[in-house]
Amino acid sequence: MSTEIQNELEKMRVKIIANLDEQKAHDFRIAFLDLHVYEQAQIFADLNVAQRARVYRYLTPDEVGEIFNVSEEEPALLAGYFEEMTPRYAAQVINSMYTDNAVDILAFAKKKNLAKYLKLIPSEDASEIREMLHYEDKTAGAIMSTEYVDIVGNQTVRSAMHIIKSEALEAETIYYIYVIDDEEKLVGVLTLRDLLTNDDDIMISDIMNTPVMSVQVTEDQEEVAQTIKDYNFLALPVTDYDDKLIGIINVDDIIDVIDEESTEDFSGLAGVDTEQGTDNPFMNAWTRFRSSALPLFLGFITILLVEHYENLINKATILAVFISMITGAAGNAGTQSLAVAVKRIANNDDQETSWFSTILNETLTGVIVGFCSGLIIWGIVGVWKANFVLGFVIGVAMLCAITFANLVGCVIPMLMDKVNLNPSIASGPFISTLSDVTSLLIYFSFASMFLKFFIGQ
Amino acid sequence: MSTEIQNELEKMRVKIIANLDEQKAHDFRIAFLDLHVYEQAQIFADLNVAQRARVYRYLTPDEVGEIFNVSEEEPALLAGYFEEMTPRYAAQVINSMYTDNAVDILAFAKKKNLAKYLKLIPSEDASEIREMLHYEDKTAGAIMSTEYVDIVGNQTVRSAMHIIKSEALEAETIYYIYVIDDEEKLVGVLTLRDLLTNDDDIMISDIMNTPVMSVQVTEDQEEVAQTIKDYNFLALPVTDYDDKLIGIINVDDIIDVIDEESTEDFSGLAGVDTEQGTDNPFMNAWTRFRSSALPLFLGFITILLVEHYENLINKATILAVFISMITGAAGNAGTQSLAVAVKRIANNDDQETSWFSTILNETLTGVIVGFCSGLIIWGIVGVWKANFVLGFVIGVAMLCAITFANLVGCVIPMLMDKVNLNPSIASGPFISTLSDVTSLLIYFSFASMFLKFFIGQ
């Protein structure tokens, strides 16, 4: 966004905080409510307890609800803010929010507070919230919104437009209108564009689109994201087990899902949660240490392994020289095939290609990369050390190590996926340490086999 | 999406291909046009030349244009399809497409063909295409669409609604309406919802929202994506150097951008393009080999380094035992801080925190993680080998190696960002190989310093 606007915002921000501290309720309302709600949320996030207390006095529950709807603060934090309000005010805020957003926050509210709020909310909305609180995390049900427009088919465009206008302020989106039958089953969908481009007297049932693409309430959010991406929908309806329409998922919720999922894959590959990054090095150190602890101890296996061959190294210390190169190459190969596998699973490409062909493909890839790398090493070491046997040993070890690493890198995440574990937690560090062990095992067993051919040269 | 629908689609698909092969033009049209355009595009993507030739005969240019609008095939491929059509037909297809999509494809068309098509397109649209072909890749201009609704402010909601209805079929979105002054400068924005919820006689200028959040045509697409994500917009207007409205960017284009950017970061971390994955192992091997070639040769530096210390290893082969553990730990630390840095840069978080504090934070994190790891190693090696000096050497080497790797992992991508290189190309393999070299250097220089204290024990 342009810098003028940014400076503009900064000025407003300062002015607003000042108004708040000087308790100028009126000036505060004027300036604050003039901002885009996302900017309001940004300012709100920087306030202290005392300032927030004033905001609750100066703004209506609906105005605060708007802010909570778009706030990017941790849900747990926002749940804490509810406790700063009177239960009645909090209940009004909750009631004015879109159900999906409210539920995200209430999931972190203390049981007794939650009960208090729900008692103060119209029973119908309260039971809706209770219901949604039970949907499993990362399913369509957990991210869907219940503020949508549904109409019956046997009416004209004109009457439909009336309904839409009347519900326009409540609904989270009015650009898709869903048509249901008398059993609330989803039977068709219209865009607002369809309504505007058709005559007022045409029947909805004649112009609605069928069949409607929809997702089950228990569907994984990643599937939902994929469908919305593929079809360029602005929203997707959610149905329960007997095809009743119970909610919609909007594209802006899906953008968050896409972000979330890709960050998950990315973090998994590095073996560190890249979103947890704080300014507190001790916190950071702890999250990183946790994820490097397992590789560290796996590392001891490598140590025992190499120690087992200490004698061999004693005879030909030159072998030690190539340890890091072999483990390095294997580690990189492993991480690469891990990355490819994780992405393939995320994109659901594995539905098209069979398990077997994927593994075969990865193995072949490994063999080819390994062969080329091995050949280069063989040549260089052979010439450099005037010892082509040694070069051969290292080259072949390289070939096997890379091939195996490729295999591990793709098989492990696929296995995890089959048993419904998130493949992205097969972290890079884990894979590369695993490749270390195997590659060294291969390397040294080869070396000991051929020892007599190059030792002492 | 539910399996019934999928099976349904599969049946339709078979039937449609059959109709095509049996040259049943009419049946083909009925069945094919009944599908969602995304499904049409999927089927079209599987056709061979002969079948496509028929499609061009059976479908109107507009119908084919719809398919090209949503097709996920490579633009270069689609450009090739144009050559299968008569220039006139191709020109009509192009003209019926949304300009941004058409331009993406035409960027791959042969110069002489491009000229041919543009000559057959209404001059106004043609010059628009020519213009957009010049916008730099990955800028707002390159992804913007020119089919939007703009109106003047001094008219009523009623007359505005008339304009919108008349443009509804042409525009890519009608849900945001942009208000311009007589110099075509962007002065306000309305949602269709605003129009529907206001009286027909109210003046647009009274209800339009100002100031309008907009982006410059030269803005980086990542910035655009961030703004749309933050504000939950469905579209964002694009203005030229003197604030004239020249296009809009829709949320569905932004979703593709978000995917693209996150895949880039992910691929960079693994040092392999995860999107290039084909079923041809030779192709895969080549892309992977390219990216592991640099680390491979960097590896030789490590070799020369270790060789330099071969004597040392000769005296105390035990040192060789811990090589892989030290390089492994350093490599993981490097990759982790690389991942964090890349994400931080991608999220533009570095605007808030200063360069210095980021580096300081990473270093401290490294020291803490390194100290804990080092302490553990010291204890274990000390007890296990009854040699706490050796343990100390390895432990301290570990501490330094991890700290340094953390530093490298965050500084390099930050430097690349400062010189406007994409930080995600500071690939993991590169960083981890770099950590290998440094960590071993540290390790062995320490070892040689303390050698006399533990040798021969």
CATH of the domain at B24: 1.25.60.10
Q: List pLDDT tens digits, range B324-342.
A: 888 888 888 888 888 888 8
Statement to judge: residues A349 and A395 lie in one domain: yes
| Residue A126 CA from chain centroid, whole number | 29
Point out the residue among B197, B282, B322 whose CB comes nearest to the CB of A165: B197
pLDDT at residue B422 above 90?
no
Q: Determine which of A266, A349, A362 to mutate to test the interface with B (most B C-beta atoms within 10 Å).
A: A266
Statement to judge: residues A134 and A167 lie in one domain: no
pLDDT of res. A40:
92
Q: Is residue B371 part of a domain?
A: yes
Mean per-residue pLDDT of chain B: 86
| Domains identified in chain B, total number | 3
What would the DSSP string read from start to end of A160-197? HHHHHHHHTTTSS--SEEEEE-TT-BEEEEEEHHHHHT
Q: List pLDDT tens digits, range B197-231.
A: 999 999 999 999 988 899 999 898 988 998 898 88
A354 CA: distance to closest CA in chain B (Å): 11
B328 contact residues in A (CB cutoff 8 A): 295, 299, 302, 327, 331, 432-433, 436
pLDDT at residue B378 above 50?
yes
Extract the tokens encoding B441.
């250097």
pLDDT at residue B154 above 90?
yes
pLDDT at residue B279 above 80?
no
Statement to judge: residues A299 and A418 lie in one domain: yes
B175 contact residues in A (CB cutoff 8 A): 175, 192, 234
| Residue A224 CA from chain centroid, whole number | 13
Q: What ipTM goes with this model?
A: 0.74
Q: Residue A243's domain spans which residues?
A: 150-251
Q: Is residue B74 part of a domain?
A: yes
pLDDT of res. B66:
93
What would the DSSP string read from start to end of B2-64? -HHHHHHHHHHHHHHHHHHHTT-HHHHHHHHHTS-HHHHHHHHHT--HHHHHHHHHHS-HHHH
pLDDT of res. B419:
78
Q: What is the CATH number of the domain that holds A218?
A: 3.10.580.10
Point out the residue among B70, B317, B328 whose CB comes nearest to the CB of A436: B328
Are A288 and B372 an interchain contact pair (Cβ–Cβ within 8 Å)? no
Point out the residue among A192, A228, A335 whose CB comes nearest to the CB of B428: A335
B322 CA: distance to closest CA in chain A (Å): 6
Q: What is the CATH number of the domain that holds A418?
A: 1.10.357.20
Question: Which residue would you say has higher pLDDT here, B213 or B4?
Answer: B213
Angstrom distance (rounded) from CA A427 to CA A268: 5
Domain stops at, among A139, A168, A198: A139
Q: Is residue B104 part of a domain?
A: yes
pLDDT of res. A198:
92
Per the CB < 8 A criterion, the answer to whether A126 and A99 are in contact is: no
Point out the residue among B274, B364, B432 whose CB comes nearest to the CB of A281: B364
Print burial letters for A342-377: b (CB count within 10 Å at least 16), e (below 16): bbbbbbeebeeeeeeebbebbbbbbbbbbbbbbebb
Are A274 and B343 an interchain contact pair (Cβ–Cβ within 8 Å)? yes
**Mean pLDDT of the region B421-449:** 82
Statement to judge: residues B242 and B176 lie in one domain: yes
Print burial letters for A202-239: b (CB count within 10 Å at least 16), e (below 16): eebeebbeeebbbbbbebbbbebbbbbbbbbbbbbbbb
Q: Is residue A273 part of a domain?
A: no
Are A429 and B369 an interchain contact pair (Cβ–Cβ within 8 Å)? no
Statement to judge: residues B72 and B216 lie in one domain: no
Are B310 and A321 an interchain contact pair (Cβ–Cβ within 8 Å)? yes
Extract the tokens encoding A313.
């190294």
Domain stops at, among A105, A139, A173: A139
Work out the pLDDT band at B456, boundaries 50, 70, 90: low
To the nearest 10°, the Cα dihedral for A407, A409, A411, A412? Answer: 140
Question: Which range (A410-419, B3-12, B386-395) has the least confidence?
Answer: B3-12
Statement to judge: residues A210 and A240 lie in one domain: yes
- Tokens 């695993």 belong to A434
A154 CA: distance to closest CA in chain B (Å): 22
Q: Is residue A271 part of a domain?
A: no
Are B215 and A303 an interchain contact pair (Cβ–Cβ within 8 Å)? no
Angstrom distance (rounded) from CA A194 to CA B344: 43
Q: Which chain A residue has the Cα nearest residue B226?
A: A1
Angstrom distance (rounded) from CA B177 to CA B38: 26
Are B303 and A291 an interchain contact pair (Cβ–Cβ within 8 Å)? no
Statement to judge: residues B212 and B131 lie in one domain: no
pLDDT at residue B117 above 60?
yes
Q: Is residue B376 part of a domain?
A: yes
Statement to judge: residues B222 and B316 lie in one domain: no
Statement to judge: residues A95 and A192 lie in one domain: no
pLDDT of res. A329:
87
A23 CA: distance to closest CA in chain B (Å): 27
pLDDT of res. A215:
92
Q: Which chain B residue has the Cα nearest residue A428?
A: B332
Point out the residue among B213, B232, B338 whose CB comes nearest to the CB of A252: B232
Question: Which residue would you say has higher pLDDT here, A351 or B137?
Answer: B137
Point out the residue among B231, B317, B327 whose CB comes nearest to the CB of A38: B231
- Residue B337: enclosing H or E segment and its boundaries? helix B323-346
Angstrom distance (rounded) from CA A388 to CA B27: 69
Number of Cβ pairs < 8 A linking chain A and chain B: 341
Q: List pLDDT tens digits, range B66-75.
A: 999 999 888 8
A441 contact residues in B (CB cutoff 8 A): none
Are A328 and B267 an interchain contact pair (Cβ–Cβ within 8 Å)? no
Point out the residue among A274, A317, A428 whose CB comes nearest to the CB of B313: A317
pLDDT under 50: residue ranges of chain A:
350, 457
B334 contact residues in A (CB cutoff 8 A): none
Collapsing DSSP to helix, strand or coil, B156 comes out as strand
Q: Determine which of A73, A232, A324, A368 to mutate to test the interface with B (most B C-beta atoms within 10 Å).
A: A324
Point out the residue among A169, A256, A266 whose CB comes nearest to the CB of B197: A169
Q: Is residue B279 part of a domain?
A: no
Percent of all residues in chain B with a pLDDT value above 70, rounded to a whole number: 95
pLDDT of res. A68:
94
A228 contact residues in B (CB cutoff 8 A): 255
pLDDT of res. A347:
72
Domain stops at, among B225, B251, B277: B251
To the nearest 10°, the Cα dihedral for A31, A32, A37, A43? Answer: 130
What residue type is assigned to position A371 of the chain? Answer: F
Statement to judge: residues B25 and B133 lie in one domain: yes
pLDDT of res. B457:
45
- Residue B309: enclosing H or E segment and its boundaries? none
- Tokens 């072998």 belong to A319
Q: List pLDDT tens digits, range B302-324.
A: 888 888 888 888 888 888 888 88
Statement to judge: residues B115 and B24 lie in one domain: yes
Statement to judge: residues A37 and A94 lie in one domain: yes
Q: Determine which of B369, B410, B443 to mutate to test the interface with A (most A C-beta atoms within 10 Å).
A: B369
Per the CB < 8 A criterion, the answer to whether A386 and A350 are in contact is: no
pLDDT of res. A159:
95
